[in-house]
Amino acid sequence: SQQGEEDPQALSIQEGENATMNCSYKTSINNLQWYRQNSGRGLVHLILIRSNEREKHSGRLRVTLDTSKKSSSLLITASRAADTASYFCATDGGNTPLVFGKGTRLSVIA
């Protein structure tokens, strides 16, 4: 299975700190996507990074991809209470549908 595995499962930080979440996967991918899910809501797409890209930024979000290590990281800088959510990586192997990991639960304490 190429299922992504997020690490850590849960993360608790103070407002203003940076939060880093990691995702590891098992097989070759076309792209990797990160999604956020607020409690009781649907998933919201954050960033898509292609297999030939190494880093991507969007606002306070920075995603890196290391295909040699089959891993990706999501960094949220200067976190806010509103960033409290679960974060999922999803891998796309080309001929298979998106496979989601189990997520990292981020708590940002004001």
Partner 1 sequence: DTAVSQTPKYLVTQMGNDKSIKCEQNLGHDTMYWYKQDSKKFLKIMFSYNNKELIINETVPNRFSPKSPDKAHLNLHINSLELGDSAVYFCASSQGSYHNEQFFGPGTRLTVL
- Minimum Å gap between C-beta 97 and partner 1 is 5
The interface mask with partner 1, positions 60-99, x = CB under 8 A, is --------------------------x-x---x-x--xxx
- Minimum Å gap between C-beta 92 and partner 1 is 5
Q: Is 33 in the site for partner 1 (CB under 8 A)?
A: yes
φ and ψ at 82, to 5 degrees?
A: -70, -10
Q: Rounded to whole angstroms, how far apart are CA atoms 58 and 44?
A: 14
Among 21, 32, 70, 103, binds partner 1 (CB under 8 A): 103
Would you say 7 and 21 are in contact if contact means Cβ atoms under 8 Å apart?
yes
Q: Rounded to whole angstroms, how far apart are CA atoms 25 and 88?
A: 12
As a whole number of Å, the CA-based R_g of the chain is: 13
User: Which positions touch partner 1 (CB under 8 A)?
Assistant: 30-31, 33, 35, 37, 40-45, 48, 86, 88, 92, 94, 97-100, 102-103
